[in-house]
């Protein structure tokens, strides 16, 4: 299948993909509540006449093209959940669900993947690779990628290469971006509990002030990155919430703090967690308190891009869009992305598709009430999904 044929396939369904995106944009649903979204995805898969599996414990779906003779399996992922944001755009297809919005572009991701299903299914007799299309719930909260991994979507047959994308409003439509090695940081949610002893505020000697200990802990945190971590490594440690105390004249008995830790590799991640734990426990003890660090189990590992697969994205971007349309990102993002649960199990690459159009005032950031996409990006994402798959189809032919 040559490039011109693929591009024509994609152009022929461009309006269909736009309509699909708008239909999903109208019905945003929060993580683990994607019931109508799931039903609509299934209806489209039935229309396309592609086989699929849906899951009872969550709202994930896996469509697939599998031939037992094929020895290579490609996975492609789209996330399907939305955010608790009241939309402020004026489109006819704006959200009809009060307080909910596709403010992160997942509606676009669904449409692109359905477009890829439609095109690749139409040429399935010419495929010598298997393809799994993963429609994943709960990316915004608990890391729904874990659910599909647990449900063995990467097995039987084993996925060899995994692709994922995200629309990005910092990139103009017509450009594609990624980078070698680490693209997204690992994320960990920190829960810190400091326990002291309650007493009357006029008689502090009778109590143990957890609030004083907590304040020293927060101050000490500021020195971990600047004095314990090499300047050549990167981490972010933010305490964003602190609660404690009953009244202005009572010694605070318990303080609860919540924060986030972002790191770019497992060594730094482990070092930071151990150092934070040490600071919490020892400073608490020095003030007569007891301190405990609890790490939520909803953290994401770092997204590590495979070098060969980055090169595939680079090659296909130049094939589809032109020599100058690929951007090699210089620095990783400290934002989290649960695509990392896939790349822990197979080679993978995550890349960004530009959706910004300054002339049309499509400039707003992800996770904002004004966020929008230039719908021309939809055909680009679809083309990249198809071309990435056909790269291995062609490779297998040559082999």
Q: Which two tokens stand for residue 55?
A: 């899951």
**Is residue 267 flagged as an active site residue?**
no
Distance, CA of 254 to chain centre: 34
For the packed helices 3-12 and 14-25, what is the interaxial angle rounded to 10 degrees?
50
The helices-and-strands tally (H runs, E runs) of the chain is 10, 16
Determine the Cα–Cα distance for residues 279 and 291; give it in Å rounded to an integer.
9
Q: Angle 289-290-292 (CA atoms, 0-180°, nearest 5)? A: 140
**Residue 79 falls in the annotated catalytic set:** yes
Virtual torsion, Cα 127, 130, 135, 138, nearest 10 deg: -150
- DSSP-assigned letter for residue 85: -
Ranges of H-type helices in the chain: 3-12, 14-25, 35-48, 106-122, 145-150, 210-223, 266-286, 307-320, 340-343, 376-398
Q: How far apart are CA 321 and CA 388, in angstroms?
A: 14
Residue 145 C-alpha from the chain's centroid: 9
Q: Which of 29, 79, 209, 254 is catalytic?
A: 79
- The length of the chain is 399
Q: Which residue has the tokens 């020895």?
A: 71
Secondary structure (3-state) at 338: coil
On whether the CB atoms of residues 207 and 251 are closer than 8 A, the answer is yes
Which residue out of 140, 172, 188, 375 is catalytically annotated?
140
Active site residues: 79, 140
């Amino acid at each position: 299948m040559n490039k011109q044929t693929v591009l024509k396939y994609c152009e022929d369904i461009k309006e269909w993909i736009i309509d699909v995106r708008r239909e999903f944009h109208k019905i945003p649903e929060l993580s683990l509540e994607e019931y109508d979204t799931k039903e609509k995805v299934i209806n489209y898969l039935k229309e396309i006449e592609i086989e699929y599996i849906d899951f009872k414990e969550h709202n994930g779906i896996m469509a697939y093209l599998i031939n037992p003779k094929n020895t290579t399996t490609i996975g492609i992922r789209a996330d399907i959940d939305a955010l608790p944001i009241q939309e402020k755009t004026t489109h006819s297809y704006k959200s009809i669900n009060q307080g909910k919005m596709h403010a992160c572009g997942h509606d676009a991701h669904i449409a692109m993947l359905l477009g890829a299903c439609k095109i690749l299914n139409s040429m399935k007799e010419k495929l010598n690779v298997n393809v799994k299309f993963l429609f994943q719930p709960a990316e915004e909260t608990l890391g729904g990628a874990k659910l599909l991994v647990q449900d063995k979507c990467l097995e039987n047959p084993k996925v060899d290469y995994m692709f994922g994308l995200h629309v990005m409003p910092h990139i103009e439509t017509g450009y594609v971006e990624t980078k070698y090695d680490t693209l997204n940081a690992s994320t960990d949610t920190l829960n810190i509990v400091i326990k002291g002893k309650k007493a009357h505020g006029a008689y502090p000697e009778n109590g143990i002030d957890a609030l004083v200990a907590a304040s020293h802990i927060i101050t000490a945190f500021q020195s971990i990155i600047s004095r314990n971590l090499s300047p050549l490594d990167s981490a972010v440690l933010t305490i964003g919430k602190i609660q404690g105390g009953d009244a202005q004249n009572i010694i605070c008995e318990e303080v609860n703090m919540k924060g986030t830790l972002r790191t770019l590799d497992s060594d730094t991640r482990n070092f930071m967690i151990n150092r934070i734990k040490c600071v919490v426990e020892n400073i608490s003890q020095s003030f007569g308190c007891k301190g405990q660090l609890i790490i939520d189990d909803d953290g994401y590992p770092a997204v590590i891009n495979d070098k060969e697969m980055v090169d595939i994205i680079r090659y296909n971007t130049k094939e589809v869009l032109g020599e100058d349309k690929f951007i090699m990102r210089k620095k990783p993002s400290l934002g989290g992305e649960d695509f990392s649960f896939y790349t822990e199990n197979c080679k993978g690459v995550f890349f960004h598709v530009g959706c910004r159009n300054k002339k049309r005032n499509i400039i707003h950031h992800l996770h904002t009430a004004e966020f929008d996409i230039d719908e021309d990006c939809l055909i680009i994402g679809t083309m990249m999904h198809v071309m990435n798959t056909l790269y291995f189809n062609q490779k297998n032919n040559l082999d």
